Amino acid sequence: MSPTLYRSALPDKGAVPLLEKLKVGTVINFLPEADSSWLSVPGITQVQLPYRTNHVDDADVLKALRAIRSAEAKGPVLMHCKHGSDRTGLMAAMYRAVIQGWTKEEALNEMTQGGFGDSTHFKDGIRYMMQADVEKLRTALANGDCSTSPFAACSMKSWFKSAHIE
């Protein structure tokens, strides 16, 4: 994806030497299960950001993009899910569009035709990509907002805290 971002399916212990060779400093996992069963290497940070493939929102995407950018500042990053296609595919496509400036069409083409899995499983990711407002996501990312919507649960939570309502 870039000199500092890699993607894959769920690795196993056999992948650790390659991660070390590539100097990967962070592994971002989009699954609900932790990577501790295969990854227990000092110096490689584990970040777990599980999300459901059938309900993705801007807050999920912003959280992932922020984690990727933060980790990339410290060195190469590997992001993965079980098959490396749907969850990882969507976040890769959003990284391409929001961070790297690809068009949505280019990112969607790579997501669905790039050899990363059966595109029939990408329906929800494709639907999200089609409706995503890339400029709003870029702005929210730059401003540190948790979502593009002031009515998102994460935005309301901040508002309630600032109003001392809990």
Model confidence at 163, in pLDDT bands (50, 70, 90)?
low
Residues 110-133: tens digit of each pLDDT = 888 866 665 566 678 888 899 999
Q: Which domains does the chain have, with CATH numbers?
A: 5-162 (3.90.190.10)
Percent of the chain with pLDDT over 70: 87
Q: Report the chain's C-alpha Rg in angstroms.
A: 16
Average pLDDT, the chain: 87
Both tokens assigned to 107: 């990112």
